[in-house]
A and B are shown apart, each in its own frame.
Chain A
Amino acid sequence: GENVEQHPSTLSVQEGDSAVIKCTYSDSASNYFPWYKQELGKGPQLIIDIRSNVGEKKDQRIAVTLNKTAKHFSLHITETQPEDSAVYFCAVDSGGGADGLTFGKGTHLIIQP
């Protein structure tokens, strides 16, 4: 089955700096790569996603890049703000989503004032 590795597990950055979280996956047939943000005591919320036919996607301060050859994708957050503090999960869909997304173990992003 699919194996998803997410790094780092904790990331602390100064407010206004950029944050980068990286995930690697094992199944070269994987075709969909979403990122979720989870605030304390809440369910994850989809913040951005990318499909395998695209190399980069941007939405205001967040962007995702995909390297299919190396089988990794990254979340980039620029000009970080206190409300960006949360746990971020990457996920991979290996084929039609029949058995659910496979998630990374999460990154706790801490924005230092």
Chain B
Amino acid sequence: DGGITQSPKYLFRKEGQNVTLSCEQNLNHDAMYWYRQDPGQGLRLIYYSQIVNDFQKGDIAEGYSVSREKKESFPLTVTSAQKNPTAFYLCASSATGGNGYTFGSGTRLTVV
């Protein structure tokens, strides 16, 4: 079955540590997105990518980095520069010219 897989489901980060969240899709979608979800804040866009080897900052990109070396993969690194990383992170993808998004099941990141 086609879909998006996010891993891990739960992730714990120590102060000053970088962590990477995985997002893989087999839907042959060109566009991929990363959102952050906090209680009462809705979904806020971190980074997005329309094609391989190209990506753009969203509304809250500071403290995050991404890469898009393959069409299927769009990993998100939460760096030590992100001072409040505890949140639920969602990856999504969409087809070129299409508007409907398919979301992954999310990764819950907690700072310990």
Q: Do A and B come from one complex?
A: yes
Contact A100 B100 (CB under 8 A): no
Q: What's the minimum C-beta distance from B100 to chain A, rounded to whole angstroms?
A: 6
Query: How would residues 43 to 67 of chain A score, 1 for a CB under 8 Å from any chain B CB and 0 otherwise?
Result: 1111001000000000000000000
Query: How would residues 6 to 33 of chain B score, 1 for a CB under 8 Å from any chain A CB and 0 otherwise?
Result: 1000000000000000000000000101
Having A100-B48, A100-B58, A101-B99, one finds 15 other A-B pairs with CB under 8 Å, namely A43-B103, A43-B104, A43-B105, A43-B106, A44-B43, A46-B101, A46-B102, A89-B43, A97-B31, A98-B50, A99-B45, A99-B58, A103-B35, A103-B43, A104-B42
Question: 27 A–B contact pairs at CB < 8 A?
Answer: A9-B40, A34-B100, A34-B101, A36-B103, A41-B108, A42-B105, A43-B4, A43-B90, A43-B104, A44-B90, A45-B103, A46-B102, A49-B99, A89-B43, A97-B31, A97-B94, A97-B99, A100-B35, A100-B45, A100-B48, A100-B58, A101-B101, A103-B43, A105-B40, A105-B42, A106-B40, A106-B42
